[in-house]
Structure 1
């Protein structure tokens, strides 16, 4: 039995199959209908469909695997990021005539924000010289790292996180095709952990299904190395009620039971504090300032346990201030 990556097995083959980016897909379908398109820049977070959309666009344009293979070149700019790649692979591919009825070839540069400045400058001239027969698709996480002359030559499409409903539907489709047993809270847990990253969600589903016969929230959080949100909320609430030692013990249990790093805890604290309904906007702002300092110190090498304990102490302080304010309003 061969092991298949579900991310690749269930990768959309056409634009109609791409989920969560409806406005972008609508525009790209217009390019396919006219068999004409400008250079494109796809920017957005990881796992939101940039690479998949580029390949689906090529499939819809060229119609056959043979024509896609002849007319579509994909390079990962994080591996081939220097000027030599631009002068050899890209230039050699760009100067040959396209095959088939579509009058241009496509060069897809994935993770283009890793291209060196010299490589990006060299691309400017190539984009102009071969514009009659070649189109470029740049895919990146941060469009600000692409030089302005290239951005101005491209139609920019910004990919947002995949909506929760779209992720849920795709996960259920895969689970049913693979014959998995799953629970509603298991799917919800994957959506919580993935934060709009469909690739991460599918990988979590596959890993969790390999670890247990039923994909439930307990398995998902253990696979992801994150704590159950309710446990994090309970820890925060203990601290806000002034129970520092209880919150400290809960923190240690989370880090031991789930194998969480200090930065994992910081990310979940950030998410749960912002979602809290018991804290005011001013209190959340105060905690975010302190949490950012904790994050910086941990990143710089400070002891994670000590910094997180300081964060809990700050929560105790905010909780006491909150209680005093509540008493003052009552009187």
Structure 2
């Protein structure tokens, strides 16, 4: 009987182990390869070097996918070790954004005096996406931070620091997370691709880095999506086709039409390209700043006017304006830009 029970327990343990392995293997790459320790982090050396025994209240801000949440979680794991779950409270402020959360969950955790790690005399509260918190909740949080500084440290994480009230900003040490450099991103992506047994050529990697634009989360999501829909070597064409973004070749065709064709021809050609490739005008617009800034022969005053008009079109599209109407505005603005460039050249 005892032998049977031992065998049954062994089978249960094996089943649990296999289940955990399958669950891990099925995770999105973003979570599967999220840095677990400080050594796994890339870039942001100035932030990682902050002394843990003098940890102040922190404000991490910067573009998405640059490692803000991963960094504070890695620092917390180093600080608390196996007591992480008891000494750290993580809240996503985009869900828990009202004043009741500050009064109940945050204040209750901050006021408790149970410490499981004597080497670190304070607990940690991580408020992710704090720029979604209401101003009333942020104002209430200000007082909580002041009152429980001896026993609790706060880390406020956000994308847009301007949405954090000045009173909170002044109580924290601010760290800006800039977009990750291509070299560091590429190195990490190659490590992950090797583990996943996925192959990509040089042009494909350049496409991922261009579309990711310093956002590790976006780069990983692109690679995982393409790897699931492509067998064999991943190239530039598969990257742009899977993500639905215009390729550099497509965009250069758009530029060619805008600068060299009349209004009706350019409008019709771009409309046909959008239908054929399934592109949105928003995706096309997002490419313009990068390419226009590289045009050395364009006068600065005209570049400023072009970028200003493009920003108006992008804003209108984000607010639900007609794509057809905004495409007409785009083509029309370049017709005017061509005349301005010609006039500027004649005045020299």
Answer yes or no: is 1:13 the counterpart of 2:30. no
Distance 1:301 1:178 in 2: 40
Coordinate RMSD, CA, aligned:
2.0
Alignment of 1:241-256 (within 5 A): 241-256=260-275
Answer yes or no: is 1:87 the counterpart of 2:110. no
Q: Which moved more, 1:154-163 or 1:257-266?
A: 257-266
Answer yes or no: is 1:222 the counterpart of 2:238. no
1:303 equivalent in structure 2: 322
CA 1:272–1:20 in structure 2 vs 1: closer, same or farther (change >3 Å)? same
Q: Which moved more, 1:119-128 or 1:71-80?
A: 119-128
Answer yes or no: is 1:76 the counterpart of 2:88. no
Q: Which moved more, 1:275-284 or 1:205-214?
A: 275-284
2:282 equivalent in structure 1: 263
Structure index of larger Rg: 2
1:236 equivalent in structure 2: 255
Contact residue 58 and residue 154 of structure 2 kept, 8 A = yes
Gaps of 5+ in 2: 1-21
Contact residue 113 and residue 142 of structure 1 kept, 8 A = yes
Kindly tell me the number of residue pairs found equivalent between the two proteins: 322
2:298 equivalent in structure 1: 279
Q: 2:162 aligns with which of 130, 136, 144?
A: 144
Residue 85 of structure 1 and its aligned partner are, at CA, apart by 1.0
1:159 equivalent in structure 2: 177
Distance 1:249 1:210 in 2: 35
State the secondary structure of the residue aligned to 2:298. Answer: coil
Distance 1:187 1:309 in 2: 34
State the secondary structure of the residue aligned to 2:197. Answer: coil
1:181 equivalent in structure 2: 199
CA 1:210–1:278 in structure 2 vs 1: closer, same or farther (change >3 Å)? farther
1:171 equivalent in structure 2: 189
CA 1:52–1:257 in structure 2 vs 1: closer, same or farther (change >3 Å)? farther
Gaps of 5+ in 1: none
State the secondary structure of the residue aligned to 1:275. Answer: coil
Q: 1:205 aligns with which of 223, 241, 256?
A: 223
Residue 323 of structure 1 and its aligned partner are, at CA, apart by 4.3
Contact residue 241 and residue 316 of structure 1 kept, 8 A = no
Distance 1:134 1:234 in 2: 57
Distance 1:234 1:278 in 2: 19
Q: Which moved more, 1:249-258 or 1:164-173?
A: 249-258
TM-score of the superposition, structure 1-length normalised?
0.90
Distance 1:72 1:291 in 2: 45
1:23 equivalent in structure 2: 46
TM-score of the superposition, structure 2-length normalised?
0.86
Contact residue 302 and residue 340 of structure 2 kept, 8 A = no
